[in-house]
Amino acid sequence: MSVLIYAENAGGKFKKSVFEAVTYARAIANQNNTSLVAISIGDVDAAELAALGKYGAEKVLNVSGEKLKNFVNQAYASIIAEAAKKHSADIVVLSNTFSGRGLAPRLGVKLEAGVADGAVALPQQDGGKFTVKKTAFSGKAFAVVELTSANKVIALVPNSYKVTETGETAQVEDFTAETKDSDFKAMIKEIVRSTDKVSLPDAEIVVSAGRGLKGPENWGMVEELASLLGAATACSKPVSDAGWRPHSEHVGQTGIAVSPNLYIAIGISGAIQHLAGISSSKVIVVINKDPEAPFFKVADYGIVGDAFDVVPKLIAAVKEYKA
Ligand code: FAD
């Protein structure tokens, strides 16, 4: 028995969600007193691969090839399944990303495994039962699922598990697996970015705003501050429910979880459901005109004031600092 983690890369680099998934997979391996092997597919250099050891991978299988440079759902699933079989891995961990969500069901079929996608916590393994807490109904609720099969596939939601560095460098070895022509029936030919904005789940700085901003017409200053800081924009749930901002920006228990170095909350009250999605932020700055707003209790820095006075001043100060 062992645990296998698929480490997906973006342009040859691993994102934070991969380090979270490796840390998470390490914890599952520890629960089961077994080893952790990582697999990477595509063009990633040896130092980047070996660095997965810091998060607990003992060995990294490196799969490369001209046709494998971009993500190919069926082919990647065939390779990961073969690696799982060769390394007797009965638990495969993925990140719950676009590719992870594509791979999870395919691996479920290939490995005859039970699948828990959208996992948000470590599995519980009490009394012979293996249960996983996961998001349900598009993130509006949680479910606890029991995986009863011998093989299991778990996809971890980004920013739901803390990265910890426990090891050193991992041993890297090349791995080749059989693929068939039918694995390449649909291939990505070109990747075109639809926006130059920073992606919210990966952002190191997030500028977020709530109902205190009164209406969508007032988001210009939020966008401007975010752009100056190289930050992603986010919002509270009522704001996206009202259609002021897209649902992809909704942060919290029923939205996206973020884990930036800096989270700036403007005109957000700090309801518990909102805090659930931002609590692992390193530094929290709150701007709110109500000194009693609950958000101040978790803030590292708080500014009591009207957002329409404070934010323009903050923008001017950042501009002056950058000049
Ligand atoms: P409000 O609560 O209306 O707060 C607005 C804040 O702006 C106030 O604190 C006010 O003092 C301040 N303000 C007003 N004017 C100004 C000004 N000019 N300058 C500065 N400050 C000003 N919410 C989420 O965000 N994410 C979730 O994932 C989420 N999930 C939920 C799940 C469930 C099951 C439920 C029941 C609720 C959920 N909610 C969620 C809603 C949550 O309970 C709150 O209602 C919501 O977070 C409040 O949003 P808000 O802070 O933007 O608005």
Kindly list the protein residues whose Cβ atom lies closer than 6 A to any atom of ligand 1: 210-212, 236-239, 252-255, 267-269, 271, 273-274, 277, 287-290, 293, 306-308
**Index of the ligand 1 atom closest to the CA of residue 276:** 28
Mutate to test the pocket of ligand 1, among 274, 290, 292 (most ligand atoms within 8 A of CB): 274
DSSP-derived pairing of the beta strands 131-136 and 141-146: antiparallel
Cα(210) to centroid(ligand 1), Å:
6
* Cα angle value 11/64/187 (rounded, 5°): 70
Average pLDDT, stretch 280-304?
A: 97
**Index of the ligand 1 atom closest to the CA of residue 254:** 28
**Index of the ligand 1 atom closest to the CA of residue 238:** 49
Cα(277) to centroid(ligand 1), Å:
13
In this structure, how many other beta carbons lie within 10 angstroms of the beta carbon of residue 34? 16
Q: Give tens-digit pLDDT for 55-88.
A: 999 999 999 999 999 999 999 999 999 999 999 9
Cα(235) to centroid(ligand 1), Å:
9
Cα(220) to centroid(ligand 1), Å:
19
**Predicted pLDDT at 291:** 98
Average pLDDT, stretch 169-185?
A: 94
User: Which two tokens mark 108?
Assistant: 């479920």
Nearest CA residue ID for atom 52, ligand 1: 210
- How many Å apart are CA 12 and CA 226, to the nearest integer? 27
Q: What percent of the chain has pLDDT over 90?
A: 85
User: Which two tokens mark 111?
Assistant: 């490995």
**Predicted pLDDT at 189:** 85
Cα(212) to centroid(ligand 1), Å:
8
Of residues 126 and 229, which shows the higher confidence score?
229
